[in-house]
Amino acid sequence: MNSPQLTRERDLRDSRPLWIDTPRVSVRSSKQPARSSYDVIIVGAGISAALVANALADGNRSILVIDKRSPVKGSSIASTAMIQHEIDVPLHQLQGMIGKPDANRVWQRSARAVMRLNEIVQSLDISCAMKRKKTLYLAGDELGSRALRTEADARNDAGIKASFLDKNSVMAEFGLDRSGAILSDISASANPGQLTAGLLRSTQSRGVEIVSGLEITALKSIGGEVVAATADGRLLSAGNIVFCTGYEFLETLASDKHEIISTWALASKPGIALPDWLNSHIVWEASDPYLYFRTSQDGRLVVGGEDESNENAYQSASKLKSKTETIRRKVSALLRIDIGEPEYRWAAAFGSTSTGLPLIGEVPDMKNVYSVMGFGGNGITFSQIAAEIVSSAVNGGRDPDADLFAF
Ligand SMILES: Cc1cc2nc3c(=O)[nH]c(=O)nc-3n(C[C@H](O)[C@H](O)[C@H](O)COP(=O)(O)OP(=O)(O)OC[C@H]3O[C@@H](n4cnc5c(N)ncnc54)[C@H](O)[C@@H]3O)c2cc1C
């Protein structure tokens, strides 16, 4: 129990994301755990923790969710929440990195996770503006139309439906001037604050205890148990402990396979004149830096991008202004409309990996300690995959795809 710092300390986000001002993003929590021993302790109270807790909360198991912040107030509230099966690294490129069978399994698993997340939200009746959408993936400076055609073929070959659109079709159907695009199904968008809070409230009704304002500072596996220390000097033991600490990952997992970068986002005023098709599509592009956008339920355009490979740049006030101006200019030019002065501009830390894959599983040399690092543009989809993998392990089984994401 002698690590100087257990999880990496960050501000996580700067300025005020849109969703903070929406209703139902808070969750009742206690200041202290009610007991000293649990079946499972989940560290963090963002979307990853909410989905892991949801998968494990069977009404019998004792589960503690513990966060040093208030629930839902880490990265999840800053998310633009485009819920996609498309991974940052295109399938045909991932096949070159990890082999065709594994790359196909990853993409297939991602598609199933989006569908499963939709089912969960529906079955629990969570009011979070979750809406099924199609994805339009536009050609850009990284992949032109020929590469997108190859990508669409790779996806169809893997059983993941994707339609290639040429320049004329992109203009005719969407009024966008790009050399090509892939149109695919299996996406959604939601209010990530309401999604996370709704899931956490649902787990509370199944007996999950939520404590906030208390940091886990040290950890040790002893025999079949894990003991965690809190910042106020108490010891908590559990059969399993799951770190869902987002970009404040466990220090022992620091590696050159993943990095923390900076990202920016904005939301327009509601009710601006947007093309009708945007209500049923989310859009991103094969460019670096890339631009991505969606609409919100109250008729705003929510746009993000301009990622920078610097873990602190999101804290700069001048960059907040210049990066969001660039985003505004780019999206206005693409859609050929002036989206006006944004009502919200925010910046945040963001995690990426070289393969675009999340890191999920048991922490090396720490029995019964798991970590969920859903790094990448579809982090929410990865949180659902993590919930499935971790719950299988805690239940004594092994998810057939666990090897794809293991540390
Ligand atoms: C601007 C932006 C846009 C994004 N857009 C998308 C998108 O469109 N689609 C998508 O799928 N994903 C997107 N993502 C990624 C997605 O939002 C993240 O993957 C997801 O929110 C991470 O959730 P989490 O629960 O893992 O982390 P968090 O929400 O950050 O929760 C982790 C929690 O752990 C707590 N914690 C950390 N250390 C400790 C400790 N030692 N003790 C106690 N508590 C601790 C923190 O306080 C924090 O609340 C975006 C992210 C950002 C920032």
pLDDT digits (tens, 9 = 90+) for 29-54: 999 999 999 999 999 999 999 999 99
Cα 401 to ligand 1 centroid, rounded to whole Å: 23
Cα 309 to ligand 1 centroid, rounded to whole Å: 18
In the structure, what pLDDT confidence band is assigned to residue 2 with cuts at 50, 70 and 90? very low
Secondary structure element (H or E) that encloses residue 392, with its range: helix 379-394
Ligand 1 contacts (CB < 6 A) are 6-7, 12, 43-49, 66-69, 74-76, 78-83, 215-216, 244-246, 248, 263, 265, 304, 348, 350, 374, 377-381, 383
Cα 197 to ligand 1 centroid, rounded to whole Å: 13
DSSP-based three-state secondary structure for 211: strand
Q: What is the pLDDT of residues 81-115, one digit of tens each?
A: 999 999 999 999 999 999 999 999 999 999 999 99
Interatomic CA distance for residues 190 and 297, integer angstroms: 8
Decide if pLDDT at 3 tops 70: no
Interatomic CA distance for residues 141 and 207, integer angstroms: 50
Cα 331 to ligand 1 centroid, rounded to whole Å: 25
Q: Which of 6, 234, 371, 380 to mutate to test the pocket of ligand 1 (most atoms within 8 A of CB)?
A: 380
In the structure, what pLDDT confidence band is assigned to residue 189 with cuts at 50, 70 and 90? very high
DSSP-based three-state secondary structure for 291: strand
Decide if pLDDT at 10 tops 90: no
Cα 373 to ligand 1 centroid, rounded to whole Å: 9
151 close to 182: Cβ distance less than 8 angstroms: yes
| 90-94, 277-281, 374-378, 403-407: least confident range | 374-378
In the structure, what pLDDT confidence band is assigned to residue 4 with cuts at 50, 70 and 90? low
Per-residue pLDDT, averaged over 157-172, amounts to 98
Q: What number does the ligand 1 atom closest to the CA of 76 have?
A: 21
